[in-house]
Chain A
């Protein structure tokens, strides 16, 4: 089996969000980058499938050279080789185009990624890739097993879940509890240093352009209500906040 896992390189959840160049550019200054939280689940499931079924796991990132520590981490977790498409991941369509262009004709049985990236939260790259390659797509996938040329998945829907059987190849956006996040061990870290990491140029161009960014207005102070008078909160919510 051949599995392609697409990972995003995103600011850590706790990162301070700030912009520079007249609010036209995200400020990377002092920001710690990580593999997108959902992508980590996709990677972990791919490595589990490799352990149980045998698989070649390729990890792909669309990003600049500063993504490479995260790509190496994915290799240390258990991916066999990596590809970096050398470009800023400017919009969903552009990223999907890169993934589809790379995957075309390479015979991947599964193309896995997170349900969304944790920076732009669009959640559409998997669907776009699948459409470009003429494959079925599923998201958010919470369970994934492979039996021959079929996959059985459990997918979250509003207020519940669906169990689906599908032909593969297929593209999936993953989320917990599909697998437990994996932490690289020393052997994995050593092995990752010599695993192949290919850098390829991007194709096509983005369909959108950022005009500028802004931060939300600062939150007002929290109004405290004594616990003994908790009931008065309901009146405040009705009269002052007007939400009841």
Chain B
């Protein structure tokens, strides 16, 4: 089976989640996938795809993240490789790019895939639906199939191997769109990619009280998130909002500080492997979804956690 992986780059390298997608692709039927990388990166970083099972990397150097151009790159790469299964991670960028390519090719697309496809009888994938509250097993019937895997369901472990890197050119058409300005927080851990997330809710009492939470995040090497009321009140930027209408995270560890656990918030975090809840209200609904809980004042608990984390 010819398999193509649409990957994402950050700081000149593959994102961790994209390495997971490459690993996933290499395990579908054992054949080595081809990787498409669009953006900015150097050849050494791109060749890293080989360690995760890729045979070749097609690299298109693009200064700006334009969805129309990225999806044309993907379509051209599908045409060049004759790929029948296209894999990416589930992310806002991949959603936009994969959707345009699948729409053009009249192909089935399934998102939030959690396991390798079952090819014993047709092509059946399992995916998470209802924001993690259920799973579906679905047969994909089109000749070309698009799969977007959920972050953190596949282990990306380097196993050696080399990939050749080829520059990849195509006729790009921004379709009348131009990017005027890009604002990106630099030097911060990416929230959707993070292994550990420390999040704060209204129980943090105000933006000026965020330091203890930031201290714990720093000690753990964690990204920071927040609840919807906190971003609505502008205590924290919108891109930190975790929940049904914000970022959906799937870290190994999610620590919620002063968040009561409204169902809309849970929808954004229930894919986390381990959930810790710190809240002064023992009746907070979040404790029902948690693995570990502490009933107490966040401003007393957080410094203790930070101290213990620094001692690790």
A-side residues, CB < 8 A to B, are 11, 13-14, 17, 19, 37-38, 91-93, 96, 115-116, 118-132, 135-140, 142, 152, 156-167, 170, 173, 175-177, 207-216, 219-220, 222-227, 230-238, 241, 243-244
Contacts and interface: CB of A to CB of B under 8 A. Distances in A.
A161 to B, nearest CB: 5
A207 B277 contact: no
Contacts of B309: 234, 244
Contact of A13 (B138, B263, B292): B263
A209 B138 contact: yes
A123 B92 contact: yes
Contacts of B192: 158
Contact of A223 (B110, B112, B134, B293): B293
A158 B92 contact: yes
B238 A142 contact: yes
Contacts of B190: 158-159
Given A126-B99, A161-B183, A162-B182, A208 B138 contact: yes
Contacts of B253: 237, 241, 243-244
B182 A121 contact: no
A211 B138 contact: yes
A139 B301 CA distance: 39
Contacts of B167: none
A193 B125 CA distance: 43
A220 B293 CA distance: 13
Interface string B265-284: 00100000110110000000
A157 B112 contact: no
B134 A215 contact: yes
A213 B136 contact: yes
A174 B72 CA distance: 23
Nearest to B310: A234
Interface in B246-276: 248, 252-253, 263-264, 267, 273-274, 276
Given A127-B95, A136-B67, A216-B135, 9 more contacts: A120-B111, A122-B112, A128-B109, A140-B92, A157-B93, A158-B192, A222-B290, A227-B295, A227-B300
Given A127-B103, A129-B103, A91 B108 contact: yes
B101 interface: yes
B124 interface: yes
Closest 9 CB pairs of A and B: A127-B99, A227-B296, A167-B176, A131-B103, A128-B103, A124-B99, A231-B308, A160-B184, A207-B108
10 contacts: A120-B130, A121-B129, A122-B109, A127-B67, A137-B67, A162-B65, A165-B180, A207-B107, A230-B301, A243-B196
B273 A243 contact: yes
Given A158-B91, A233-B294, A208 B108 contact: yes
B295 A224 contact: yes
Given A162-B182, A166-B176, A166-B177, A234 B296 contact: no
Contact of A210 (B102, B136, B277): B136
Interface footprint category on B: 35 or more
Contacts of B300: 227, 230
Nearest to A114: B245
A11 B111 CA distance: 19
Contact of A120 (B101, B103, B129, B294): B129
B276 A209 contact: no
B301 A244 contact: no
A232 B95 CA distance: 41
Contact of A130 (B103, B180, B183, B312): B103
A222 B291 contact: yes
Contacts of A123: 92, 95, 99, 111
A37 B175 contact: no
A138 B176 CA distance: 12
A121 B109 CA distance: 12
B214 interface: no
B307 interface: yes
B139 to A, nearest CB: 5
